[in-house]
Structure 1
């Protein structure tokens, strides 16, 4: 029975398409973390879309959202920023949350277009967030300045209060900053056209298909580690699973901003309950689920909640 299950697993894994520079372990880890609900064909399409747009899911640039059988892509702020950084003339994006005790004023031209902001943070405690602004700079172009107020925040806070609201009922300053920054990026750079153009090209079957996913027979790679026809496939297959899980741990630490070995060990000691000398697959899997919840909370706070249909 174990041989049959291992062979089926190898066949399923072999449907994953190699895209970009991702290795099989990385693709398997992403499939089991940010794309658990997607079928392998849906996951392949998601990765193809992201690759066409020059975005990297492992860096938090975007996540798949499943609606029935339809898969949407939610481009996160880091994704929009990455596209902007690749644009000609990129000079930076700056944003701040405006609080009750801050000094703030804005100047406009004759057409009512924002041309300058004057912001000075107040003395702590600065009070609750009342707005935010962002400036997107580009060589050869006028600065794009975006100013957001509470009416805009509240519209989204009503839909997702857990993401937008702090314990004291105020707006999360990080969400306010990302919200304004995303709008400034879209207004200053041609990123929206790039994303929508790639979407339309793929959906219509146009574009350079050679730049898309490449089917790769990875049976040899899988069986090299799992040996599905050998007498002890389960033991060897555990090594493959453990390798993929540890690779996912590395990616999760990066997403959580944990870079120092001492901090990684501290985090694991706190959230990974190990009974023996080394963690089992079940213990690592449980730890990864906790990390994924923490990542989702972190990304939700940074998300501009933009979704694009596949």
Structure 2
């Protein structure tokens, strides 16, 4: 179950137009507390409020504005627990003939994990030129994925349908996903990522398999992480790991060693470059090849 939950997060934003379908132009939906547990995991989501406003299309698709508010959420497995602060997401979907554009803006107040706190997580995403006919074909699958926490097998069965519908739309209309901002704060330092994804030189023949479509993915991501974040993480690590002992000076030296080891790995091996105290990296995905900060690496072209 935990894998389905984690992989559902990004698709939730992508599928928001279908998930927020409502039987009236304006509607307020309150979803009661969701609580699920298994042998080694537990999920609790506080009561959610979904507010929608917009016209209905010629079929079952709805357009306009939607807003989701979740006061808090809690997720745990045998090895860790995650505590989420308030979550707010707004979605605006508009049509252009037979195509639709959707813009999603989600903000998470905080995440607590392993005694550390990440704050003000923001994700702004645009989905451009998606085929309304394809959206209609997978409307039920999309709603299922957005609203249900289910088994890995059931999630994957629906996910394949939705991903192929998005691929068909991209092949025929040049649809793409734009990440305007994905950012978060840790110890008063803010990391940020922007980027875009689409298909390049793809044809109807490539739709025969997911693996072939993945080879046509074309995208670019820009990442910036203040050096203060890995430094603060090393400080937290030294102070929280029970078997790390020593005087104040010895612990300080251990923090420095941890930070230098991280920089040797990240910068020394070419995964990022340091510019004015900020780690920066450019990731380019093109025709099955992945290039990180000018460094080529292999890509596992798998749908799993």
Fold conserved between structures, TM > 0.5: no
Q: TM-score range by the shorter chain?
A: under 0.3
**Could you say which structure has the larger radius of gyration?**
1
Structure with higher helix content: 1
Identify which of structures 1 and 2 has the higher relative contact order when contacts are C-alpha pairs closer than 8 Å and 6+ apart. Answer: 1
Provide TM-score, normalisation by structure 2: 0.24
Structure with higher strand content: 2
Provide TM-score, normalisation by structure 1: 0.24
